Amino acid sequence: MTVRAFKRKAVTAMAAVTVVGGLLAGCSSSTADNDAEKTGDGSQNKVIGASEGPSAAPSTLATGMGADTDTDGTFPRTVTHFEGKTTIKAKPTKIAVLSTGQLDDLLSLGTVPTATTRADNAGLVPDYLADAFPADKSKLDAMTDAGTRQAPNLETLAAAKPDLILANDSLGDLYPKLSKIAPTVITAGNGINWKRDLLLVGDAIGKGQQAQKLLDGIVEDAHEKGEALSKTSVSMLRFTPGRTRMFGVSSFTGSIAVDMGLDRPKSQQFKAISEDIGAESIDKADGDWIFYSVQGDADKTDAASVLAGPLWKSMSAVKSGHAVKVDDDPWYLNAGPTAARLVVLQLAEDISK
Amino acid sequence: MSVKRLAWPAATLAVAAAVLLSLAVGTRPVPLSEVLNALLHGGSSPDALVVRSLRLPRTEIGLTAGAALGVAGAALQAVTRNPLADPGILGLSQGAAAGVVLGIATGLANGFSGYVWYAFAGAVLAACLVYGIAARGRGGASPVKLALAGTALSAMTAGGTTVVLTSSSAALDQFRFWQVGSLSGRDADTVVEMLPFLAAGALLVLACARGLDALALGDETARALGHRVGVVRVCAALGATLLVASAVAAAGPIAFVGLAVPHLARRLTSGRHRSLLPLSALLGAALLVGADVAGRVVRAPAEVPAGVMTALVGVPVLVVLVRRKGTAV
Amino acid sequence: MNGMAKPREPDRMTRPGTGTGTGAFRPAGVTVLRPRPTISLLLHRRSAAVAVTLLLLLGVAMTAAACLGQTYIPPAEVWHTLRTGSGQYDLVVNELRVPRIVLGALVGVALGLAGALVQTVTRNPLASPDVIGVGHGAAAATVLALSFGFVNSPSAMPAVSVVGGLAAAALVYVLAWRHGMQPSRFVLTGVGIGVALSAVVQLYLADSELEAAEQVKLWLTGSLNGRGWEQAGPLAVVLLLSLPALVWAGRAVRPLGLDGDTAASLGVRVDRTRLALTVLGVVLAATATGAAGPIGFVALTAPQLARRLTRTPQLPLVCSALAGAVILVTADLAARTVLPPLEVPVGALTSLVGGPYLLWLLGRNRVGG
């Protein structure tokens, strides 16, 4: 190989390496970004009002949002939400809910929607909601299946003729189309915003005061149940296929721990909603209690190898029988008042054992 | 000549270095002394548990799967007489992975010993399809045709999987877990289960080593030298497919190890397959274990699957190869 | 003159069985003996017939797509609703179905054109814009932009993906350039860069929160769900603006079907023409990707289908565009209706059908270069 040929080859190789290297460098720096503020996935994942540090779930509506009337049941009303203002002329009777947590909100407020979408790995109605509202079973079974949460079928939705559509910001792109089908209210989405989303949903269906009362009741209950417990730290873990994450203070379950006055392990006092944790540092997630969930079939994903591993068994919470497997749906997927009550109850019951 | 004499010690050193790094580096900082202590004396401290129950198995899987892919790549390149042959590019890995996913989805396969048969069936099917189609007609199985047939097969598998997953999302979890090649979270006894398959594959390929040398001279010459060209091709390809299938069943589809490694090995040693194949095994093991270590570091505390890392390392190699004058593209 | 006939020879050689069928439309010897104007006329007549047929097919597909769905709407009702802009079907027809159908047709046109241009440049029927990295580049750019927070909503994705597609194609072009452009090197480099870019996408998807990641994944497969005029507008503008360039391209692609030496001897500055055509094709493909996500295999199959129908040695641009539109509108109709009420990403369907077609083409050995 001549010197020139070699040089040329070297240059090409270097160019190729630079390109790949640049991409990799990009990767590592983005981790820092994600820590500072969870902008990683666009606006829909930002914890509103939580960029300054760990914070609990905001318990009031975002500034300027909500209905223009405080009295429940008065219509027409204009609701300001995350994509604009929407006027709702009369009390909605046929509501379509498209996003996570909103079905919980509506059922808890005593309203059964006409149409909804399904999450991955789940049926139309999460088991915990079906269990909590047995009286609504026939109405729940009659709901229109409008496809998946990511790609709702708009024609099916239109055919259900809703008079109000609820969705969260991750479907913000569909807002123009949705609002042609029916008046649409867009909530923030994401577990940490569950309280303000409940209030906004309440305002949209003319039950703002009821939603506030419901919320106050849950917070008070959580506080009382928490007071009765001895001082402990709770660790929150979620296994999804190929990944394990710790949930921080600024998450749905994290906010409930705050309301109950429970401590969190040092490793889980970060700003982001969740943080990845590797199999080999799983003991960082140790606490007095561990509440973990597994999405899907534990036996067939890597959760099995972690849970069967000696490192997991060496953790103090596991040794003392304080590692509790919980239902993934209410704990880490759906964020609403019924899920919150379940989480409060389970935390209180298990820890007081 | 001096380079060639140094090849073996250098490759061995590379493997040793990769193994050492793999045992010492990870999301959990463990001091080197602790690592050695854990390996030599055991112990039940968390650090020792991490080294022995997590890092050691994944290093072993990396070594065996990497070696398997390196040998398979060298064999495939000789069989197809094509410098760009790679289990990933040819769609073998994807075929094997699709087999595994099918096995999982139907609930028939569980654990490595179940996976490996599905992987083998998938890989054989993919190999026949891709090579059979590319070799038809004018010009034979040229690199472009093989690459495109592999790409088409991968795209088809991906499209089919998406449709299936849209209609039944229950299989989604297992699929995600398998989709990208990774060494983490696999069973510790996987390596032991892998060995018979690896041994069978390696023996088949090694038995053909002289035949593969002859193939490089052209089919006519090989025949004149007394080799049965068809037998050599089928044996070596079967061995390579067995190696790929067991690597995929253990670690998921991992691309580009089989592409880059044989070229490096060819630089370092004579073109003879009797030395080329073992050297490819060593370098493949070093590359995959190294890629796995890099995957633990770049996005810590999250882990990047080794398959993603090998693709990022392998593509520059592909580009350089394609630009090389001698490469008949 | 001889040049015009040359590319047909392999066609006859590889398909001896169909020789007589071809001869019925193109009598043996005509192409070689008759002066040029006659040939063009002959070609054009068949091409025109194919174009009209494809146009009719497109009309049928679009009408079917407007009538079928959650509820069947008779064609007369659709027409009435379209004209008056009111009535009980106004919402479904004018807001949901028609914008989506028009967008689908436009994306199909852009992809068909892009495929024809790039395949002509590479002289390889299997090299479509998605093979040379446009789709992967668009995907990687989108995921990176979302990950770094450069854009804060998926609605800003189109611009980002256009830039990503262009950048990836440029990278492939530069890396494959060596003493000129060799088509097969271009294709192989493109396949490689595509793999690297999809590795980058996986790298970032692993880090996003689940819900957002699902959203991105849906976009990555290509879908027309919920899209309409907002996406169709910019695409239509780009198509209109590229019309003069396309007219020029229609003339420029002819000599490029020849091998490099012949073309050069005809006085064509091959490399410069190739570059211009590639840029045009990539811009079209990237804009289409921005509007609907990377939809695979349309750019690959449409020109091949068109060529089989017109039986011209070059890839017919108009017919490729129409074929692309027919394919995409039909695929999207299937995407909405096969698994109701689920929306299948249309890109998954086109890959499912296009993959085997690519393999079949390979088997038929339509590879140049």
- pLDDT, one tens digit per residue, over A206-227 is 999 999 999 999 999 999 999 9
* Nearest Cα residue to B76 out of B224, B325, B263: B263
CB atoms within 10 A of CB B32: 10
Residues A20, B44: C-beta atoms closer than 8 Å? no
Lowest mean pLDDT among A44-48, A255-259, A340-344, C68-72: A44-48
- Minimum mean pLDDT among C34-48, C252-266, C289-303: which range? C34-48
Nearest CA among A268, A248, A333 for reference residue A296: A333
* pLDDT beyond 90 at B193: no
Q: Is B295 in the C-facing interface, judged by CB distances under 8 Å? A: no
C18 lies in some domain: no
> What backbone torsions phi and psi does residue A294 show, to the nearest 5 degrees?
-125, 125
CB contact under 8 A, B323 and C178: yes
CA B40 to chain CA centroid, Å, is 30
Query: What average pLDDT does range B300-324 have in this prediction?
Result: 81
Instruction: Indicate whether C12 belongs to any domain.
Output: no
C195 and B308 in contact by Cβ < 8 A?
Answer: no
Contact state of C347 with B143 under an 8 Å Cβ cutoff: no
pLDDT at B242: 92
Which two structure tokens, joined as six digits, stand for C69? 């769905």
C155 — pLDDT class (breaks 50, 70, 90): low
Q: Which of A99, A177, A273, A295 to mutate to test the interface with C (most CBs of C within 10 A)?
A: A177
pLDDT of residue B23: 92
Contact B308 C203 (CB under 8 A): yes
Please tell me the least confidently modeled range out of A279-288, A324-333, C8-17, C230-239: C8-17
The CATH number of the domain holding residue C235 is: 1.10.3470.10
**What integer pLDDT is reported at residue C14 of this predicted model?**
35
- Which residue type occupies C97? R
Question: And the tokens for A10?
Answer: 């070297």
Share of chain B above pLDDT 90, in %: 22
CA distance to partner chain B, nearest, from residue C268 (Å): 25
What radius of gyration do chain C's Cα atoms show?
21
* Confidence band of B161 (pLDDT split at 50, 70, 90): low
Residue C204 counted as domain residue: yes
Nearest CA to CA, how far is C191 from chain B (Å)? 8
Q: Identify the three-state secondary structure at position B13.
A: helix
Task: Closest CB to B49: pick one of A12, A300, A311.
Answer: A311
pLDDT for residue B165: 62
Per-residue pLDDT tens over the stretch B77-102: 998 887 878 887 788 888 887 887 77
**C270 found inside a domain:** yes
pLDDT at residue C342, rounded to an integer: 85
B2-323, which class in CATH? Answer: mainly alpha
Distance CA A188, CA C82 (A): 36
**ipTM exceeding the 0.95 mark:** no
**Model pLDDT, residue A35:** 33
Which of A276, A297, A314 lies nearest to residue B49, judging by beta carbons?
A314
Asked if residue A26 has pLDDT above 80, the reply is: no
Q: Which pLDDT band, with edges at 50, 70 and 90, does C110 fall under?
A: very high
Please give the residue range of the domain that contains residue C213.
35-364
**A contacts of C210 (beta carbons < 8 Å):** 240
Q: Name the 3-class secondary structure at C344.
A: coil
Are residues A185 and A196 in contact, defined by beta-carbon separation less than 8 angstroms?
Answer: no
Which pairing describes strands A234-240 and A289-294: parallel, antiparallel, or unpaired?
parallel
Pairing of strands A84-88, A144-148: unpaired
Rounded Cα distance between B72 and B78, Å, is: 10
Query: Could you tell me the two tokens for B251?
Result: 């670690």
Q: How many CB atoms within 10 Å of residue B154?
A: 27
Q: Which residue ranges form the domains of chain A, and what is each CATH number?
A: 66-222 (3.40.50.1980), 228-351 (3.40.50.1980)
The predicted pLDDT at position B205 comes to: 94
- Token pair belonging to A279: 């199999």
Compute the average pLDDT of residues A85-95: 95
Q: Is B105 exposed, middle or buried (CB count within 10 Å of its CB: 0-12, 13-18, 19+)?
A: middle
Enumerate residues 67 to 96 of chain B having a beta carbon within 8 A of any beta carbon in chain C. 84, 88-89
Token code pair at residue A169? 């910001």
pLDDT of residue A338: 96
Closest-CA residue to C70 (of B253, A47, A160): A160
Average pLDDT over residues A174-200: 92
Q: Which two tokens stand for residue A70?
A: 């405080």
Q: Is the pLDDT of residue A285 over 70?
A: yes
Strands A243-247 and A234-240: antiparallel
Cβ contacts of C92 on chain A, cutoff 8 Å: 155, 158
State chain B's mean pLDDT as an integer: 82
Average pLDDT of the residues in A28-46: 34
Cα torsion C279, C358, B158, B102 to 10°: value is -170
Output the pLDDT for position C106. 97
CB atoms within 10 A of CB A17: 16
Instruction: Judge residue A267's burial from the number of C-beta atoms within 10 Å of its C-beta, 0-12 exposed, 13-18 middle, 19 or more buried.
Output: middle
Check CB contact of B187 with chain A, cutoff 8 Å.
yes
Residue C170 in contact with residue A57, Cβ under 8 Å? Answer: no
pLDDT on residue A33: 34
The answer to whether the CB atoms of B301 and A278 lie below 8 A apart is yes
Mutate to test the interface with C, among A8, A117, A173 (most CBs of C within 10 A): A173
Phi, psi of C208 (to 5 degrees): -85, 155
Beta sheet of A184-187, edge-to-edge order: A144-148, A115-118, A95-97, A164-168, A184-187
Q: Do A278 and B300 touch (CB under 8 A)?
A: yes
- Interchain pair A279, B54: CB under 8 A: yes
Average pLDDT of the residues in A281-296 = 90
* Residue B130: its H or E element: helix B111-135
pTM tops 0.90: no
Average pLDDT over residues A96-121: 90
**Is the minimum CB–CB distance between C337 and chain B shorter than 8 Å?**
no
- In chain B, what residues touch A278 (CB-CB under 8 Å)? 26-28, 184, 296, 300-303
Residue C256 has pLDDT above 70, yes or no: no
pLDDT over 90 at A106, yes or no: yes
Q: How many folded domains does chain C comprise?
A: 1
Residues 6+ apart with CB under 8 A from A243: A276, B302, C206
**Beta bridge pairs of residue B13:** none
Residue bearing the bigger pLDDT, B173 or A70: A70
For residue B276, the model assigns a pLDDT of 92
* pLDDT top residue among C261 and A60: A60
CA–CA dist C19, A2 (Å, integer):
51
pLDDT of B104 over the 90 cut: no
First to last CA, chain A: 76
Q: Is the pLDDT of residue A27 over 70?
A: no
SS3 B299: coil
CB contact under 8 Å between C206 and A26, yes or no, is no
